[in-house]
Amino acid sequence: MHFRTTTTFALSVALLIFSPLDFVTSASTSRSITRAVLSEEQDEGVGARVRRSIGRPELRNHDPFLMLDEFNIDNNGGFPDHPHRGFETVTYMLEGQFQHEDFAGHKGVIGPGDLQWMTAGRGIVHSEMPVKSNTRAHGLQLWINLPKEHKMCEPQYQELLDQEIPRAQPEEGIVVKVMAGKSYGVESKVYTRTPTMFLDFKMAPHKVAEQTIPADYTGFIYMLSGTTFIGGNNDGENGVFEGKAHHTLTFSEDGKDTVRIETREEPAHFVFIAGQPLHEPIVQHGPFVMNTNEEIYETVFDFRNAVNGFERADQWRSSIE
């Protein structure tokens, strides 16, 4: 009897001292950052320099993502004729222009703010080179794994000019370009065989954004410039991680459906990338990504013998320089 009375009294005191808001803010409401990896420059392609994010040794794969490169290429560099099979490449231009041509007859140019979403599927051979009249081409290329059922689909392109990409502006000083997925009620028209979010955030100083994310998605932020403070509870203090330029910041996988992002003294520009894991085996051999070693052997055979999706591979050469 004495125990019950004491417990009831203590509970009454607690209810007087703590409001419901205190109980909400006592625990983190945002996913946290589990790892921060600096993307250092390295050589890639022919005369190209890239900062590799996903795909470097510390972040070999981040299911469903295989690679993210921030490329910076002058007129002497680029990515001449090369094949792909089994995944998608997403090219997002920040500065300059990139020209593209493949062995199926597709050819075009994307410029600042434009997006090209290429599904390599069963096979493509293409060339990606900067337009010579520009001093440099600066952008991002993301590789997204395809589920087994789509790895041998027909190649496809989805291309959006900058003005065709929808924006969310939850308040003055926060602009989100929605390349894939949804942000603040604004949804992309891009079809993703692997459910994916690809968002470009620009935030002025002293702003807070709260981006929702499906509970089962993995994801990360890649910082382009500025500084962000990610995670924490509603008062923005506990469990906050500071993110710097050219770092990849991976999200915790704790089932929470929000990522809290804050700026303080300086603006920030970053991409928010997340997707539904495939939970399938990954066997990668350079530009080919399949589920088994046998499928990789078959892919190499198909490419070398120009069959089963690579019929034009032995005769075609790109015309762009």
Task: Give the annotated binding-site residues for Fe cation.
Answer: 82, 84, 126, 128
The CA distance from 197 to 183, in Å, is 9
Are the beta carbons of 31 and 241 closer than 8 angstroms? no
Rounded to 5 degrees, φ, ψ at 95 are: -145, 155
* Torsion angle (degrees, nearest 10) of CA 66, 70, 75, 77: -40
The CA distance from 25 to 20, in Å, is 9
Q: Is the peptide bond before 64 cis (omega within 30 degrees of 0)?
A: yes
Q: Which residues are annotated as a binding site?
A: 82, 84, 126, 128
DSSP secondary structure letter of residue 120: -
Residues 69-79: b if buried by 16+ CB within 10 A, e if exposed? bbbbbbbebbb
Contacts of 36 (CB under 8 A, 6+ apart): 241, 243, 247, 248, 249, 250
Q: Which residues pair with 230 in a beta bridge?
A: 241, 261
Contacts of 305 (CB under 8 A, 6+ apart): none
The CA distance from 63 to 147, in Å, is 11
The CA distance from 212 to 118, in Å, is 26
